[in-house]
Amino acid sequence: MKRAIVLLTLNEIEALPKIFDRLPRSCADDFFVVDGGSSDGTRQYLESRGVRVVGQPKRGRGQAFRVAFAQTDAEVLVFFSPDGNEDPADIPRLLAKIDEGCDMAIASRMMRGAFNEEDVHWFRPRKWVNQAFTLLANLLWNQGPYITDTINGFRAVRRSAFEALGCDADGFVIEYQMSIRAMKRGLKVAEIATRESPRMGGQSTAKSLPTGIVFLRQLAREFVEDSPS
Ligand SMILES: Nc1nc2c(ncn2[C@@H]2O[C@H](COP(=O)(O)OP(=O)(O)OP(=O)(O)O)[C@@H](O)[C@H]2O)c(=O)[nH]1
Ligand SMILES: [Mg+2]
């Protein structure tokens, strides 16, 4: 089964060089980057390391996922964001879950044994909001085992599953849409416990309030999505 590791970048020049050499590239057949339009030298850094960098017609992580699938004939794609939040050592663990037969494997920051960036504080607004969206999705659509982190982008996805989901979200809500639709279609989703670390530099582009509103709107849209045939 052909596999690809895909990095998703938007202005990650501060963190990327600290992570790049730790990527387990030998566990995949293809390796490339989808870049959302970096202007800080991210693209130049990657090209100087001999990496294929693909641009996007429009900014947004949802766009980036679709560009990634169109760029490779790999049957499994694992998406990695090189900003410091994610541990490269989890990549082979996600791929192993796919090998065991699941359609999508998510690195969970919420399950037993996992660690969320906010767990160092008692006040965890982002985690709680994420958990509320996750609870709603599970209550509304999940007939299988509870999915603890429907939102994390660090995941491996089979091409057949991605095609069955028909996801059209453009931005940060793409992962939530993928998780919801995987539940609706009864796909097999597995999770591994991960440790989320802080950003190593650069800027987040996921602003909490606007992102929350987009998530609510997506939830409403998923109610009216035609049932899959
Ligand atoms: N290809 C692509 N990547 C993007 C785009 N927007 C964000 N990213 C990348 O997606 C990853 C996640 O974005 P972040 O801004 O870190 O969002 P976050 O992880 O919720 O926020 P932090 O907690 O600050 O890390 C990073 O690696 C970004 O560089 C985009 O439009 N296209
Ligand atoms: Mg991040």
CA of 172 to the centre of ligand 1 (A): 8
Ligand 1 pocket list (CB less than 6 A): 8-10, 12, 34-36, 56, 59-61, 64, 81-83, 85, 199, 204-206
- The answer, yes or no, to whether residue 195 has pLDDT greater than 60, is yes
- Residue 204 has a pLDDT of 83
- The answer, yes or no, to whether residue 16 has pLDDT greater than 50, is yes
Tokens coding 201? 């530099």
Of 46-50, 60-64, 141-145, 209-213, which range is least confident? 209-213
The helix or strand, by DSSP H or E, that contains position 129, with its residue range, turns out to be helix 125-141
pLDDT tier at 197, thresholds 50, 70, 90:
very high
Q: What is the mean pLDDT of the chain?
A: 95
144 near 229, Cβ under 8 Å?
no
Q: pLDDT tens-digit profile of 55-66?
A: 999 999 999 999
- Residue 226 has a pLDDT of 62
Give the ligand 1 atom nearest the CA of 15: 27
- The answer, yes or no, to whether residue 228 has pLDDT greater than 80, is no
In this prediction, what percent of the chain has a pLDDT beyond 90? 90
pLDDT tier at 15, thresholds 50, 70, 90:
very high
- The answer, yes or no, to whether residue 227 has pLDDT greater than 80, is no
- Residue 225 has a pLDDT of 83
Find out if CATH 2.40.50.140 is the number for domain 3-224: no
- The answer, yes or no, to whether residue 202 has pLDDT greater than 60, is yes
84 near 201, Cβ under 8 Å?
yes
Q: pLDDT tens-digit profile of 74-116?
A: 999 999 999 999 999 999 999 999 999 999 999 999 999 999 9
Give the ligand 1 atom nearest the CA of 11: 29
Q: Say if strands 3-9 and 30-35 run parallel, antiparallel, or are unpaired.
A: parallel
- Residue 207 has a pLDDT of 82
- Residue 229 has a pLDDT of 44
Closest residue by CA, ligand 1 atom 2: 36
Domain map (residue ranges) of the chain: 3-224
CA distances from 170 to 56, 178, 214 (A): 11, 12, 10
Place of tokens 């001999």: 50
- Residue 34 has a pLDDT of 98
